[in-house]
Amino acid sequence: MPPVEFRYRRETARGETVFRPVARVFLQRDEKGVLLYPYIDSGADVTLIPRSVGEALGLTLGNAAVEELAGIGEGKIAVTFETVKMSIGEVTFDCRVGWSLIEEVPLLLGRRDVFDRFAVLFREWERTVIFTPRSDVR
């Protein structure tokens, strides 16, 4: 399968122009799916989605265990861990995501279930990230 290249997104932070790495991913659960552009965060243990994204995928609290996730801003947030299908380029796989019970969280593409399927190369000088699928993992 061919590599997938993502361009950094231009944003403004504290009055300055910054470029941040974002990916194009498709999440699916049952018959519901959403196309997303999360920040690629090599420091995030898990992919994090806000409440509205989980609801769009049909996630419900039900009997799910609510856990606290730290490292997002200054505090902790309540999440449940859910498994969804994720597609990056031509690669589709099961991915465990942290579904935030609040909306005010960044959309993050974390390492778990993602970085072990790809060689991830940040080319900061070109403002690109290249995801090369491993040939031995499907």
Domain ranges of the chain: 4-133
Confirm if 132 and 113 have CB atoms less than 8 A apart.
no
pTM of full prediction above 0.85:
yes
Q: Token digits for 111?
A: 């390492």
More confident residue, 76 or 122: 122
The CATH topology of domain 4-133 is: Cathepsin D, subunit A; domain 1 (2.40.70)
pLDDT digits (tens, 9 = 90+) for 14-23: 999 999 999 9
Confirm if 124 and 108 have CB atoms less than 8 A apart.
no
Q: What is the pLDDT of residue 77?
A: 86
Q: Token digits for 104?
A: 């005010």
Residues in a beta bridge with 132: 119
Confirm if 39 and 10 have CB atoms less than 8 A apart.
no
Q: What is the pLDDT of residue 34?
A: 97
Q: How many residues does the chain have?
A: 138
Q: What is the pLDDT of residue 62?
A: 77
**pLDDT-based confidence at 138, cuts 50/70/90?**
low
Quick one: average pLDDT of 29-39? 96
